[in-house]
A and B are shown apart, each in its own frame.
Chain A
Amino acid sequence: MYDTNYHRASSIDEAVNIMAAAAEGKYLSGGMTLIPTMKQRLAAPSDLVDLRHIAEMKGIAVDGRSVRIGAASTHEEVATSAALAAVCPAICRLAAHIGDPHVRHMGTIGGSIANNDPAADYPAAMLALDAVIVTDRREISAGDFFTGLFETALEDGEIITAVRFEAPARAAYQKFPNPASRYAMTGVFVVRRDDGGVRVAVTGAGSDGVFRHPGLEAALAANWSPDAVANVMVDATDLLSDLHASAAYRANLVKVMTKRAVAAA
């Protein structure tokens, strides 16, 4: 690891100010991606601004169907929140299958979303749930937030402080993990609203990151059943192709994971 300067912020304002003064700073949340990346010398921030001790970024609040998850909430906290499980168990189950127990004790929802790894699980949930990403300066809808591979709408120095969404009538997430890395080779989050509206978001498969699939959404809005997926065409053109799976294989996984998710929702 290259040399770096560590700062521990106790408030969002303090974190923003430290970052503004840093040459090439990075925010550090759980660090479950950033520290391993720095160990490999693939990242070399001049300064790290630790967000783990900022009280205003913690906590999960559920008011009726309205959910607010503080950005510094760990995957373990999301996975085991009884309040969240009562209105949206799908996001608890998603969090319970990120990484391994030790990673879940450190990694946070805000960190995962800010990193926007194309195989990460949370971006699919945010997009399917039509979540609002709350930052220190504005609110961004998930549809506008994820802009490409590891790219987001965040500006320099902007901090995700929380995410908000309305719990849907039904939701589920299913992923096909890579047998070695356990990252999603394809993961699908399905949501059905009380008014019958359906959103289907896919992670791990898109060559430009997480995406919605209008064909699957239309088919499931007309008929909320695993069988409705059978005749939907999933185009492999813009899907990832690598040593783990071809684009055609991933296109099929999109359908299979969607079927399983609808069956589980």
Chain B
Amino acid sequence: MAKITMTVNGRQVSGLCDDRTLLVHFIRENLGLTGTHVGCDTTQCGACVVDMDGQSVKSCSILAVQAAGSSITTIEGLSANGELHPVQAAFKAHHGLQCGFCTPGMVMTAVDMIRRHGSNLDEATVRAELEGNICRCTGYHNIVQAILAAAAEMGGARHAAE
């Protein structure tokens, strides 16, 4: 058993878990944040993607103890003041989901993609970088459109602020 502390969505949290407990299970079961999903058992689907210290990671392939001391953002931490994050709003506007199971991972992946590429993001890059996220409903088309729209809007917003 390990007692670990980390920052999740801006709040410091502590909990007891086995050394072998995966970060995704710590997030879901110890913290009750069930927006982060487990869609496979093989590190392939990306439904569990969260942000750890500023980078997207698969929380099903990291032990909770490895993440001790880090700062985590989950899908629950994206919206602010009751407003959807621009990526969440774009997924809604562009129908970027059907059943919604993969959506938390898709949205967290999109946020990371836009962080790295900004408004320079193009369709080929989006499709290549979705390699680690599997959706079994949509055929990806609307997911790609949503990410491009969010990138354009967030890039535009950044220019306006400069």
Contacts and interface: CB of A to CB of B under 8 A. Distances in A.
The answer to whether A and B assemble together is yes
B56 to A, nearest CB: 5
Interface in A74-102: 76, 99-102
Contacts of B57: 102, 105-106
B62 A106 contact: yes
Contacts of B129: 100-101
A99 B2 contact: no
A100 B46 contact: yes
B42 A36 contact: yes
A101 B113 contact: yes
Nearest to B18: A3
A101 B126 CA distance: 11
Contacts of A39: 22, 41-43, 60-61
Nearest to A106: B57
Contacts of A105: 52, 55-57
Determine chain A's interface SS by DSSP, over half rule. mixed
A88 to B, nearest CB: 22
Interface stretch (A27-35, A195-203, A253-261): A27-35
Interface string B33-63: 0000000011100100100100111101111
9 contacts: A3-B20, A4-B20, A31-B63, A32-B43, A36-B43, A39-B22, A40-B41, A52-B66, A100-B131
A60 interface: no
A89 B112 CA distance: 24
Interface of A: 1-6, 8, 28, 31-32, 35-36, 38-40, 48, 50, 52, 76, 99-103, 105-106, 182
A103 B66 contact: no
A101 B20 contact: no
A101 B19 contact: no
Contact of A28 (B43, B66, B68, B132): B66
B90 to A, nearest CB: 19
B61 A36 contact: yes
B58 A102 contact: yes
A31 B55 contact: no
B109 interface: yes
Interface in B98-149: 109, 112-113, 129, 131-133
